[in-house]
Amino acid sequence: MKLNERSVAHYALSDSPADHTGFLRTWGGPGTPSTPSGTGRRCWFVLKGNLLFSFESREGRAPLSLVVLEGCTVELAEAPVPEEFAFAICFDAPGVRPHLLAAEGPAAQEAWVKALSRASFGYMRLVVRELESQLQDARQSLALQRRSSWKSVAGRCKPQAPNHRSVGLENGHSLSKDSSPVGLVEEGGSRSSGRGLAEWELQGPASLLLGRGQSPVSPETSCFSTLHDWYGQEIMELRQCWQQRAQRSQPKCEEQDKP
């Protein structure tokens, strides 16, 4: 089976964050017997996401091996020689032997077992989803809390429409005329300014896309990937515009003014 090995190796060596690194002894590799024996080979291991790379040394310019950590469990194991601090990466796949590794001390062993157990894509996805829902909960709680305190100051302030939230988004970009940086607006302290829920609204991309009749990103859209896509669209459009401008002799690019 082919693999884009050059890109994989490049990723291994890149400055993208490693989740864990360290020296481990490994059994298995060209020329080693099928049954692990001896003290193993000491290699420099780098864990990035669900990929475990090994190198000859810390300065190695090319990875020796890659173990893709999906569908595996990590378990403590008895090393072949009475070696301590050994553990194994075990796969469910048929005909696959566990990958045996040994750390250099109990702390390192525990740290590696923990790190490798959490290395799967599925685990990361769960964590992200959990945080996403916790953010939604936190925002809802905050919004509820705000509404109850607004009621107490309603007498003093100019009354806003009770369903301000649903209307506010369409009006949002006209309310927020100051040029804040693109992104979620920081909650300001003032409640009486009438901005109210406008504080939640996105500037920039939302206003750009509102003009096209698309539903803007709302406070409920706390999903990172949706936000990522919205910003991405704007950037792509800008890029096209700049490219067209570069091709024309006179720059006459039609672009919505950003607030």
Partner 1 sequence: MRYNEKELQALSRQPAEMAAELGMRGPKKGSVLKRRLVKLVVNFLFYFRTDEAEPVGALLLERCRVIREEPGAFSISFIEDPERKYHFECSSEEQCQEWMEALRRASYEFMRRSLVFYRNEIRKVTGKVCAGLQRAGVGLQVAEAVLRPWLMATRPPHRTPWSSSAYPRRPGSS
Question: Which 6-45 residues touch partner 1, going by CB under 8 A?
Answer: 6-11, 14, 16-17, 29-30, 34-36
Residue from the set 72, 102, 209, 217 that interacts with partner 1 by CB under 8 A: 72
Q: Are strands 41-48 and 51-55 parallel, antiparallel or unpaired?
A: antiparallel
By CB under 8 A, tell whether 60 contacts partner 1: no
Q: State phi, psi for 88 to the nearest 5 degrees.
A: -135, 145
99 C-beta neighbours (distance < 10 Å), count = 21
Per-residue binding string, partner 1, 163-202, x by CB under 8 A, is ---------------------x-xx---------------
User: Which residues touch 156 (CB under 8 Å, ≥6 apart)?
Assistant: 192
Answer yes or no: are the C-beta atoms of 56 and 14 closer than 8 Å.
no
Residue from the set 18, 32, 41, 77 that interacts with partner 1 by CB under 8 A: 77
Residues 81-120, interacting with partner 1 (CB under 8 A): 88, 90-99, 110, 113, 117-118, 120
By CB under 8 A, tell whether 128 contacts partner 1: yes
Stated as kind and residue range, the H or E segment containing 45 is strand 41-48
Structure token pair of residue 193: 């300014």
Residue from the set 123, 147, 179, 180 that interacts with partner 1 by CB under 8 A: 123
Residue from the set 81, 107, 142, 235 that interacts with partner 1 by CB under 8 A: 142
Q: How many residues bind partner 1 (CB under 8 A)?
A: 84
Residue from the set 38, 39, 62, 171 that interacts with partner 1 by CB under 8 A: 62
By CB under 8 A, tell whether 5 contacts partner 1: yes
User: Would you call 18 exposed, middle or buried from its count of C-beta atoms within 10 A (0-12, 13-18, 19+)?
Assistant: middle
Nearer to partner 1, 38 or 71 (CB): 71
Residue from the set 26, 176, 207, 222 that interacts with partner 1 by CB under 8 A: 222
Nearer to partner 1, 81 or 96 (CB): 96
Nearer to partner 1, 102 or 167 (CB): 102
CA of 102: how far to CAs of 26, 29, 45, 239, in Å? Answer: 7, 15, 11, 51
By CB under 8 A, tell whether 125 contacts partner 1: yes
Is residue 204 left, alpha or beta, with left meaning phi > 0 and alpha meaning psi from -120 to 50?
left
Q: Is residue 196 helix, strand or coil? A: helix
CA–CA separation, 205 and 216 (whole Å): 8
